[in-house]
Amino acid sequence: METINSWIQAYNEYVGGYAILILLIPTGIFFTFYLKFLQVSKFGHALGIVAGKYSTKKTKGDVSSFKALTTALSATVGTGNIVGVALAIHWGGPGAIFWIWVVGFLGMMLKLVECTLAQKYRVTNADGSVSGGPMYYMEYGLKDKLGKFAKYLAVVFAFAAVLCSFGTGNMAQANSMADALNSSYGVPVIVSAIIITALVLLIIVGGLKRIAEVTSKLVPFMAVFYFVAAIIVLVVFYKSIPGAFELIITDAFTGTAAAGGFVGSTFIMTLTWGVKRGLFSNEAGQGSAPIAHAAAKTEHPLQEGLVSSIEPLVDTIIICTLTALVIVVTGAWQAHDSAGVSMTILGFEKGLDGIGIGWIAKHVVSIGLFLFAFSTVISWSYYGTRAVQYLWGDKAIKPFYYVYGLFVFLGCVWGLDLVWNFVDMVITFMSIPNLIAIVLLAPVMKKEVTQYFAYIDKIKAERRAE
């Protein structure tokens, strides 16, 4: 295991990490200017779509835009928001949070693009359900440009998605749940592994609609639960908030000298850890969320793209920022013996001690982490099934469930370093082909934007004339 871990770590350090830096941020900047900051200018329009303002009974799809949004959010709002942020600060310093913000802002555009394309190129299955995602817009959208290589690229992506379902949405989450239950409540890891695996298998056999029902209820609850606790801490330490923002922004470009338990010391490390954990948090550009949004009921592909742009705002710019501020304003990031979830717990303990309830910190973080991570595991099972279906057909879906359950179990019992290194590796396997594909499909995306807003202008003109 140690040899495998060292190989994976070497790939992440010398290949995968730089590949993501070279592709992710430039692609996000390109589309932001190419589509004229659509993620900002049409944000209000996106909220209207989520509210059902543009839905009709004739709209085709499996679930509503709101449920597609909560399914995708539940797959992204997870361990990255609690453990990932703390790891970014531990290894890259407070400045890493600035780069998480950058990834979040650009991620709003990347999600918009990839989810629009997923809607455009989705297919209808024999049972009437729909399937979509990067493998479909690679195969059908790039056929004229790449010929038979379009299919090869799609197969590479789908296989990477299966691997990533075992890593990003499964093992990292299961590992964090088992660790939190063990450290906070003394639950043996093997007991957590058995119980969590059984619960996951009970839910995922119900398919997307059951997942959507569960997550549409779970996501709002867990978000409010965590949000309120973080706000209480920030109210107690309100005088430190301006200084925290100043530290994050200045450290983003200068790096901070290693001191105590803080390891990050250079600009490139700060940048790299911010981008890596930002991508892990919101998955924008990775190509996972389009699989969920492809199943949404919508009148036009761009409508769902606009809905999906909300995800990085909620997940990365809001929830990750709350965690980061709790850690920075309380000084928890400077604790020499804290990293990961222990750093986040320490931040909440220090913050809630201000009103005499520091003892509930471990419960706030542990329960929040469990809910975030569990919803991510069940949502990522859907992504994996769609990739498996694309590669091997419906007959492979049930066997996949059991393999997926096995990886939940393994994620609980394997070491933390191996799990997270595996996660970082498989994320690049998905992201690289997906980012290449959406850049090649940029003219198609531009056309979709022009057609949709011409359609909206026509509707508005007709309403004014009535």
Q: What is the pLDDT of residues 334-378, one digit of tens each?
A: 876 666 778 888 899 888 888 888 888 888 788 878 877 887 888
* Average confidence (pLDDT) over 72-83: 69
Residue 261: the pLDDT is 44
Q: What is the pLDDT of residue 117?
A: 96
- Rounded to 10°, the helix 397-413/172-185 angle is 40
- pLDDT at res. 57: 52
Do 157 and 64 meet the contact criterion of CB atoms below 8 Å apart?
no
User: Would the pLDDT of 75 be above 60?
Assistant: no
The chain-wide mean pLDDT, for the chain, equals 84
The whole-number pLDDT of residue 18 equals: 77
291 CB burial (10 A radius; 0-12, 13-18, 19+): buried
Q: Which of 67-71, 156-160, 266-270 has the lowest mean pLDDT?
A: 67-71
Question: Mean pLDDT throughout 254-277?
Answer: 63
Instruction: Say which residue, 326 or 466, is predicted with more confidence.
Output: 326
What does the pLDDT look like over 409-421, one tens digit per residue? 999 988 767 787 8
Q: What average pLDDT does this structure show over 391-404?
A: 93
pLDDT exceeds cutoff 60 at 278: yes
Task: Please calculate the CA angle 294-371-427 and round it to the nearest 5 degrees.
Answer: 50
The pLDDT of 155-171, averaged and rounded, is 92
- pLDDT recorded at residue 76: 63
Q: What is the mean pLDDT of residues 281-306?
A: 85
Position 388 scores a pLDDT of: 94
Q: What sign for the dihedral angle of Cα 156, 161, 163, 168? A: positive
Segment 292-314 mean pLDDT: 86
Tell me: pLDDT of 454 over 60.
Answer: yes
Q: What is the pLDDT of residue 65?
A: 63
Split at pLDDT 50, 70, 90, the class of 259 is: very low
For 401-449, how does the pLDDT look when each residue is reduced to its tens digit (9 = 90+)? 999 999 999 999 887 677 878 888 888 899 999 999 999 999 999 999 9
Query: Which of 140-144, 245-249, 339-343 shows the lowest mean pLDDT across its residues?
Result: 339-343
Closest of 440, 446, 410 to residue 167, by C-alpha: 410
**Number of alpha carbons in the 13 Å side-chain half-sphere of residue 233:** 31
pLDDT greater at residue 23 or residue 114: 114
What's the pLDDT at 67? 65
Does residue 459 have a pLDDT over 90? no
CA distance 443 to 202: 43
Among 19-23, 57-61, 93-97, 331-335, the range scoring the smallest mean pLDDT is 57-61
pLDDT at 100 > cutoff 70: yes
| DSSP 8-state assignment for residue 130 | E
Side chain identity, residue 164: C
What's the CA dihedral at 37, 255, 241, 358 to 10 degrees? 120
- From the candidate CATH numbers 1.10.3470, 1.20.120, 1.20.1740, 2.60.40, the one assigned to the domain spanning 2-50+66-465: 1.20.1740
Question: For the ranges 189-203, 248-262, 410-424, which has the lowest average pLDDT?
Answer: 248-262
CA-wise closest residue to 219 among 63, 374, 70, 72:
70
| Stretch 86-98: mean pLDDT | 86
Tell me if 407 sits within 8 A of 201, measured CB to CB.
Answer: no
Q: What is the DSSP letter of 43?
A: H
Structure tokens belonging to residue 26: 């430039």
Q: Indicate if the pLDDT at residue 266 is higher than 80.
A: no
Helix then strand then coil, % of the chain, to nearest 5? 80, 0, 20
Per-residue pLDDT, averaged over 40-48, amounts to 88
The reported pTM is 0.84
pLDDT tens-place string over residues 286-296:
998 898 888 88
Question: Average pLDDT in the 299-320 region?
Answer: 88
Q: Is 63 helix (H, G, I), strand (E, B) or coil?
A: strand
Band the pLDDT of 264: cuts 50, 70, 90.
very low
CA pair distance 143, 136, nearest whole angstrom: 10
Average pLDDT over residues 92-113: 91
Write down the pLDDT at residue 120.
94
Closest by Cα among 383, 43, 76 to 222: 76
Mean pLDDT across 131-156: 94
* Sole residue written with tokens 């009148």: 299
Which residues neighbour 10 within 8 Å (Cβ) at sequence distance 6 or greater?
none
Query: What percent of the chain is modeled with pLDDT above 70?
Result: 86
What per-residue confidence (pLDDT) applies to 209? 61
Most confident range, picked from 271-285, 360-374, 380-394: 380-394
Q: What is the pLDDT of residue 208?
A: 56
